[in-house]
Amino acid sequence: MKKIKNVDLMLDLETFGTNINAVIVQIGACYFDRYTGEIGETFLENIDAETSVKEGFEMDASTVYWWMSQNKDAIESVIKEPRNPVKKVIKAFNNFASRAVSIWSHATFDFVILMNHFRTLDIKPKFHYRTARDLRTLVDLADIKYKNQAREGIHHNALDDCIFQVEYAVKCFNKLRIDKC
């Protein structure tokens, strides 16, 4: 896999809740070039929800019911083996994300839940909290419409969602770069 010069990282979480203390069941991430969309190294890990609950994280019944209504591929994506202990996955992600300068996500959801996991599990992040970047703000500033954009992969597979998010983020970066001229 080709090394990406840029140190932008796209992050997506799949969870069994929507609050800051939600159980994470899957973490996906990929490094990418913000102007070409080229994907670099990727990360996809499933987390054993039982280990998360034992660590004090919470499952929300309405979110679990929502997951039960998703398509078969999405459900299988987050429950397939291996499902690793939450602490092991957070440590692995920490190593993976250590060179990120910008971590793009829905910063009011994914990033805050992730950082709560670091705090609760007493793991010091190898990236600074200032690396957080918000996709919603980027989309708003660029005035990009992406809801009807064709996508590949499994909707609600964290890595496939990251790759889709990269596609529209790149459109935003390029539009904003052109608008600056």
pLDDT, tens digit (0-9, with 9 covering 90-100), for 32-41: 999 999 999 9
- Amino acid at position 105, single letter: S
Residue 1 reports pLDDT greater than 90: no
Residue 179 reports pLDDT greater than 70: no
Structure tokens given for 5: 């010069």
Cα 179 from Cα 17, distance rounded (Å): 38
pLDDT tens, position by position, 96-134:
999 999 999 999 999 999 999 999 999 999 999 999 999
**Residues contacting 141, CB < 8 A, separation 6+:** 172, 176
The helix/strand/coil state of 176 is helix
Q: What is the DSSP letter of 131?
A: G
Query: Which pLDDT belongs to residue 39?
Result: 96
The helix or strand, by DSSP H or E, that contains position 117, with its residue range, turns out to be helix 112-120
Cα 99 from Cα 40, distance rounded (Å): 13
pLDDT tens, position by position, 58-88:
999 999 999 999 999 999 999 999 999 999 9
Contact 161, 28 (CB under 8 A): yes
Statement: 8-180 belongs to CATH 3.40.1410.10: no
Contact 58, 21 (CB under 8 A): yes
